[in-house]
Amino acid sequence: MNRLDLLKWRFFLPAVVILSLWVFQPWGRMGSVCFLILSLLSIFLGVHYWQKEWQRIMVVSEAERIRELMSKQRHDWLNHIQVLMGYQMLKKPEQISRYLQKLMKEAERERQISRIRYAPLAVFLLTLGVKYKEWEWDVELADSMIVGDETDAVELLRLLECMVTWLKKQGEEYLDWTKIQLRMFSEKKTVSMEWKLLDDDGNIVPLDFPQTEWEEIQQKMRKQGAQVLAMQDQQLISLHYAS
């Protein structure tokens, strides 16, 4: 039983006690009426305070996530500054220019993701590196990438969450990689995602997963109206969703 379940029982314990006493109360109909009123009141108060506690937990959880994201951004920028200062000390202006161009490309990628209207989808893509720290993430949205209405955006978010959860399982049990490249693009009403797994040296890690694992993710995706395939000699995972 997790912490939330324990909290839930704490709020509804009075109602459980009153209902238990109701069974053995010796005061007949009048006693039953009183216990009924007390039971309904305790359940109402339990629901009320549970909702307040749930809201508080969600606020704290969101604040912690934002704090972690800001901490990661600060750490990244300190690293960038150190790299640039190192190039300056070594008097390598061409390296400084190249590095600044790289930072500009990263900022442009984040800007493209931020333009997604459905905020939960945009936040998920922007915070992949915070939530899944075990990997370095390279997320790119092609210029052709168009997210339709909110219904499509919700479905895309579910597909992404499902895929990342599956990859996390594979990383724990079968393969070892350090970086994930994710490219998203759309053509007409079909959204496509291309996933590549890379090692420390930037080499593509072959998708040598057991057949049962492939069948599992393919079945999950079919249930959500999507198709997932291994492409280019097991070097690329391709996912397609038609809205």
The answer to whether position 47 is within a domain reads: yes
Q: What does the pLDDT look like over 199-212, one tens digit per residue? A: 888 888 888 888 89
Q: Round the average pLDDT of the chain to a whole number and report it.
A: 84
Q: What does the pLDDT look like over 112-160, one tens digit per residue? A: 888 888 889 998 998 888 888 889 899 998 877 777 778 888 999 999 9
Quick one: 232 and 141 in the same domain?
Answer: yes
The answer to whether position 99 is within a domain reads: no
Q: Evaluate if residue 9 carries a pLDDT over 70.
A: no
- What is the number of structural domains in the chain? 2
Predicted local confidence at residue 8, as pLDDT: 62
Q: What does the pLDDT look like over 172-197, one tens digit per residue? A: 877 778 999 999 988 878 888 999 99
The answer to whether position 95 is within a domain reads: no
Predicted local confidence at residue 4, as pLDDT: 53
Quick one: 59 and 137 in the same domain?
Answer: no
CATH code, domain with 180: 3.30.565.10
- Determine the structural domain holding residue 57 and report its residue range: 1-19+30-71
Quick one: 238 and 125 in the same domain?
Answer: yes
Quick one: 239 and 129 in the same domain?
Answer: yes
Residue 103 to residues 107, 130, 218, Cα–Cα distance (Å):
6, 19, 36
Quick one: 128 and 34 in the same domain?
Answer: no
The answer to whether position 207 is within a domain reads: yes
Quick one: 57 and 128 in the same domain?
Answer: no
**Stretch 74-101: mean pLDDT:** 89
- Residues of the chain above pLDDT 90, percent: 19
Predicted local confidence at residue 224, as pLDDT: 87
Q: Evaluate if residue 19 carries a pLDDT over 80.
A: no
Predicted local confidence at residue 164, as pLDDT: 93
Quick one: 62 and 136 in the same domain?
Answer: no
Last residue in a domain, options 71, 101, 133: 71
Predicted local confidence at residue 194, as pLDDT: 92
The answer to whether position 184 is within a domain reads: yes
Q: Enter the tokens of residue 118.
A: 């459905």
